[in-house]
């Protein structure tokens, strides 16, 4: 983890840097967020949804972008995750969201990634998802999770 600080509205803010093609540190953001949520005693289902979506988002930066930053704002009723990267961007977001679509290179597929299911899995876990991308600049993914029973 690169930074953790209390926020002025009592949310906890965690920040992580993500390095492209660095599989040794991949997953640290998801693990760190999961640890904090567990320490806070948050509901297991919420922890599972946030950890799964964060892991997929983090791995997408590792595989598809050059570098990125993930910020998690953790409050008792809602969690916001923003993942911003510098990279090639996504030319066709609708296509990227389709099950099975992947541009992952062969050596990454050999590591078990590249099924083209990450964005679909994220969508399944979140309450709200916004994906914005500029070709040759980068991609921003915003995720929002509410505690059960809230919309
Ligand atoms: N941060 C990103 N930067 C650039 N392209 C991306 C990014 N995230 C996703 N993409 C594009 O969207 C496609 C689909 O992403 P998705 O996560 O669904 O599948 P995948 O990463 O290829 O495989 P999997 O997640 O199943 O291992 C990717 O193959 C890539 O072309
Ligand atoms: Mg993926």
Instruction: Report the CATH number at residue 87.
Output: 3.30.565.10
Question: Does some domain include residue 57?
Answer: yes
Question: Does some domain include residue 151?
Answer: no
| Number of domain units in the chain | 1
Q: What is the pTM of this model?
A: 0.94
Residue 100 and residue 119 in contact, taking contact as beta carbons nearer than 8 Å: no
pLDDT band, residue 5 (cuts 50/70/90): low
Could you give the percent of the chain with pLDDT greater than 90? 90
Question: Does some domain include residue 16?
Answer: yes
Average pLDDT score over residue span 5-20: 86
State residue 129 phi and psi, 5-degree precision: -145, 130
Give the separation between CA 119 and CA 10, rounded to whole angstroms: 30
Closest ligand by atom to 136 CA:
1
Of 101 and 8, the one with more pLDDT = 101
Q: Is it the case that residue 41 has pLDDT exceeding 90?
A: yes
Residues with CB under 6 A from ligand 1: 56, 60-61, 63-65, 85, 87-90, 96, 101-104, 113-119, 139
Give the separation between CA 121 and CA 52, rounded to whole angstroms: 8
Residue 91: give the domain boundaries: 3-146
Question: Does some domain include residue 124?
Answer: yes
Question: Does some domain include residue 27?
Answer: yes
Residue 1 and residue 54 in contact, taking contact as beta carbons nearer than 8 Å: no
């Amino acid at each position: 983890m690169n930074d953790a600080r209390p926020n002025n509205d009592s949310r906890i803010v965690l920040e992580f840097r993500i390095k492209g093609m660095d599989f040794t540190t991949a997953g640290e953001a998801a693990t760190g967020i999961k640890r904090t949520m567990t320490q806070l005693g948050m509901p297991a289902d919420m922890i599972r949804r946030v950890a799964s979506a964060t892991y997929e988002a983090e791995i997408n930066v590792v595989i598809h972008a050059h570098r990125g930053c993930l910020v998690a704002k953790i409050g008792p009723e809602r969690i916001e995750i923003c993942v911003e990267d510098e990279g090639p961007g996504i030319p066709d977001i609708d296509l990227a969201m389709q099950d099975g679509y992947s541009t992952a290179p062969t050596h990454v597929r050999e590591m078990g990634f590249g099924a083209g299911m990450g964005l679909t899995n994220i969508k399944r876990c979140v309450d709200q998802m916004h994906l914005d991308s500029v070709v040759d600049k980068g991609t921003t993914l915003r995720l929002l999770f509410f505690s059960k029973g809230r919309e």
